Amino acid sequence: MKVMITGSYDPITLGHIDIIKRASKLFDEVYVALLINENKVSLFSLEERVEFVQKVINDLKLDNCKVVSDRGLAVDFAQKLGCSAFVRGVRSSADYEYEVGQASINKMLNEKIETLFLVAAPDLAHISSSMVKAVASFGGDLSQFVPKHVEHALRLKYPVQIKGTKI
């Protein structure tokens, strides 16, 4: 079975990585799709985000995972790649409510593509890309939230602050 995991991955977090790893064990082929949302301002370029995700896939030797990107509707892209389902990570009831809404719209657009939920690991459920960027902006420890190569890139975007002064 081919599945797609969509996201902006701005940046990819250990929570995202956990869902990707788990999906890679459950399904024959996993497309990790970075979808471009013109209404969303990204910290990292599409190229940088693809690079971050590809490095994770390579480092973990997830041979059945492919990193792809697209500008259109997720359901159209999934159909084009022959996927029969989306895999979505769910951290909370708020995530679940949002994802059910998305799944309903996707089902209306293409009834052949299902949405499957993986519940976030308890120790990773608090991690979000927004939270990671907030911690990075104050020079906080990122090691429990993102891989090293992403931490390094975040440090370049957010120079370390000491007592309110950038260095």
Q: Tell whether 69 is in a known binding site.
A: no
State the Rg of the chain over Cα: 16
Q: Which of 120, 126, 144, 160 is nearest to 21 (CA)?
A: 120
Q: Tell whether 126 is in a known binding site.
A: yes
- How would you classify residue 145: left for phi > 0, otherwise alpha for psi between -120 and 50, otherwise beta? alpha
Rounded CA separation 89/8 (Å): 13
Q: Tell whether 20 is in a known binding site.
A: no
Q: Tell whether 98 is in a known binding site.
A: no
Q: Tell whether 130 is in a known binding site.
A: yes
Q: Tell whether 152 is in a known binding site.
A: no
Catalytic residues, by residue number, are: 16, 40, 91, 129
The CB density around residue 41, as the number of other CB atoms within 10 Å, is 7
Residues annotated within a binding site = 8-9, 16, 40, 74, 88-91, 99, 124-130
Residues annotated within a binding site for substrate = 8, 40, 74, 88
